[in-house]
A and B are shown apart, each in its own frame.
Chain A
Amino acid sequence: MSFRSGVSAFAVAAAAVVFSGGAHAAPNCGLANGKKADGAPIPIGAIVSATGLDDFSSSAKAASAYFKCVNDNGGINGRPVEYTVLDDQWRPDVSAQAAASLIKDKKVVALVGDMSIPGCGANAAIYKAEGVVDIPAVGVVRECFNSPNIAPINAGPRLSAIGISRFAVEKLNAKSLVCLTPKIPGAAEWICGGMEAWGKLRNVKVSTVTFDPASPDMTSIILQAAAGSPDAVVLTFSKGTVVAALVAAEQQGLDKKTKFVGLASSYALDLPQAVSPYWDGKYHVNLEFAPLDSAGADAQNWRSIMDKYGSANDPRDNFSEAGYLAAKATTQALLSLDPGKIDRAAVTTALKSIKDFKSDILCKPWYFGEGARHNANHSGLTAEVAGDKWKIIGECVDADDPELTEIFAAEKAAK
């Protein structure tokens, strides 16, 4: 069943629940037998960037909720998951300390559901050396997708940029694009570089404009991005800065000549309210996961688990969805192991062997994959601002990054 048809099928069921005044269905996880796991704990870790420029801990909170649900439902064949989450404060040195602490002291069998900005770069080497696998919920930087032992659940900003570029070219008839990105080391090369490489293959003119993220003068920045009258400007940053950029573009009337599109990082339920009605039908974003209000069965299960095992304050965002998926995929893999023989080597083998992990939160099944490049999630939807909400446009579309040629070939061969 495709993602879209899955959504449609469950829409009827969801409507029935809503209109009958019912709540979410009971959470479903692990062995789903209602028995508390009381065996020897299985240590699993996660590193998040919780304190610093922003709080990226929601993925681990969702993974934690899922593991709590698993522990209440038979655990991993009787053994509970002991989930330890450490904050790296956005600092590579702290991230390295956290990884060492989890791997050497806590003896974790894997890292799951994390989201750390410096983590992949700081820790890829130790994961490889110690034979530990990391399944981040959300990878941001290049190293998260180009390390043998790291396989994120999300598509990443590079593919999100290419996905929305493809939409701008194919649906908005754009022939020239500007990648507008904050000056963060490596980000412009990784994200806008992807758009440029993709543009060369598609004969689309792509240029990059970087800006100082601390600069308050968004009007000048947006004027600079639109200076060459590109057909579309791709906003590669998060929702707060996107609102400032869209307001500046609106005040300058730039949308008359130039389209504005964004990455999944600006897909937030509270963004449309801030920019509507002016941007209704005019601002489009790429999605790496199902819409947050999706009626799909797994999306509903994610919300049920968050309601029962998470805190009311835990964000229900895309990062949370990804954390849920990372924990679920890991649980399914661990359940295939002999509970008496669960050690790091066995878990590494099991996680690396994950294939065809299906969820209606994803466009396509997720897998860990071979080699050093992992990007199983490379397909996403597009949403546009419609009043106070997002409206999904069209079907799932692949981000045809030239860097993924081998991955596409391997997927084709596996079919």
Chain B
Amino acid sequence: MNLQFLVSGLGLGSVYALSGVSLVVLYRASGTLNFAIGALGALGAHCAWTLLSLKYPAFLAIVASVVVAAAGSFLYGRFVAPALSHRDRSVRAVSTLGFALVLLGVMGLVWGETIPRRLTLPTDAAYVELLSVRVTYTRIVALGLALATVGAIALLLFGTRIGLAMRSLASDRELGGILGINTTRVDSIAWLISGAIAGASGLLLGDLVRLQPSFLTFLVIPAVAAALLGGLTSLGGTIVGGLVIGVVEGMLTSFPELASYRSAAPFLIALLFVAVAGRSHSLRTSQ
């Protein structure tokens, strides 16, 4: 078995994990599964590319990516999501899919879908060699950022009042509202944080994968799979889930019979997990 692909898959898995964390943060607080995080990340990455191509400093481009995605997410969360707050979770999730398609259309108009572009970050220039694979600093940053984000989110949830409010709403939204938690404010902050993480993920994916609106938009799929492996609530589980998906997808490259179906790996892993977890849950319930 070629361990090169393990190393290669870890880098991408880190970003899947980061994207998954973005989903989980919002889902825990507001109960909304945001299918637009891929598009928000793509929007941020394209803004960063524009600034870089205009010779602005990389730092500014990175900040812009995060700010634009966070702002887009906040605006949706503040002005659209409340109108749907009384609707079923599936309706709220599908509405974010509509938001993703709107963003995709906007990106198509502004940047075009088929123009080949390259997003280069300063961290691409340096690398360490591991198992004959060059691991660029961008990949190392991706892994570090995923872990640091989980730490920061855990600190927010368990060490701040807003975190307490988020946990209360996640536990019982109606009761939290009756107890005086400003649900709109808490939700808006969750949308803002989720969007910022999506912006960072989009920037990394734009660098590691390719800078193409549709491609980045639909990378929400492995992120959802990673979040599912974390049960849509566990940040640690989501990190592990993202890494597993990235590594499995990478390792499948060394099996020629399966290599052509690698993009199905996130679905299959998530499906398998849901089936096994659902079965053990029903067993526990029956006992």
Contact = CB atoms under 8 A, between A and B. Distances in A.
Interface of A: 54-55, 183, 209-212, 214-221, 223-224, 227, 239-244, 247, 251-253, 268, 270-271, 274-275
B117 A220 contact: no
Interface in B61-109: none
B5 A270 contact: no
Contacts of A223: 4-5, 8, 133, 253
Contacts of B117: 243, 274
A247 B134 contact: no
B38 to A, nearest CB: 11
B11 interface: yes
Contacts of B9: 217, 220
Contacts of B205: 216
Contact of A240 (B124, B212, B219, B259): B212
Given A216-B263, A217-B9, 15 more contacts: A209-B259, A210-B256, A215-B262, A216-B12, A217-B250, A220-B250, A220-B253, A223-B8, A241-B210, A243-B118, A247-B118, A251-B124, A251-B127, A251-B134, A274-B118
Main secondary structure of the interface of B (DSSP, over half): helix
A210 B259 contact: yes
Contacts of B171: none
Top 8 A-B pairs, shortest CB-CB distance: A183-B260, A214-B263, A244-B210, A220-B253, A216-B209, A243-B116, A215-B262, A274-B116
Contacts of A253: 134
B115 A270 contact: yes
Contacts of A275: 118
30 contacts: A183-B260, A209-B256, A211-B262, A214-B263, A215-B249, A216-B12, A216-B222, A217-B8, A217-B249, A217-B262, A219-B8, A220-B4, A220-B8, A220-B249, A220-B250, A220-B253, A221-B253, A223-B5, A240-B116, A242-B116, A243-B116, A243-B118, A244-B210, A247-B118, A247-B210, A251-B134, A253-B134, A270-B115, A271-B116, A274-B117
A252 B134 contact: yes
A101 to B, nearest CB: 28
Nearest to A268: B116
A218 B205 CA distance: 12
A268 B261 CA distance: 29
Nearest to A239: B116
B260 A243 contact: no
B228 to A, nearest CB: 18
Contacts of A227: 2
A252 B133 contact: yes
Nearest to B209: A216
A210 B5 CA distance: 16
Contacts of A244: 209-210
Contacts of A216: 12, 205, 209-210, 215, 219, 222, 263
Interface string B196-234: 000000000100111010010001001000000000000
A209 B124 CA distance: 27
Interface string B256-287: 10011111100000000000000000000000
A218 B209 contact: yes
A243 B212 CA distance: 11
B266 to A, nearest CB: 10
B134 A211 contact: no
Nearest to B258: A212
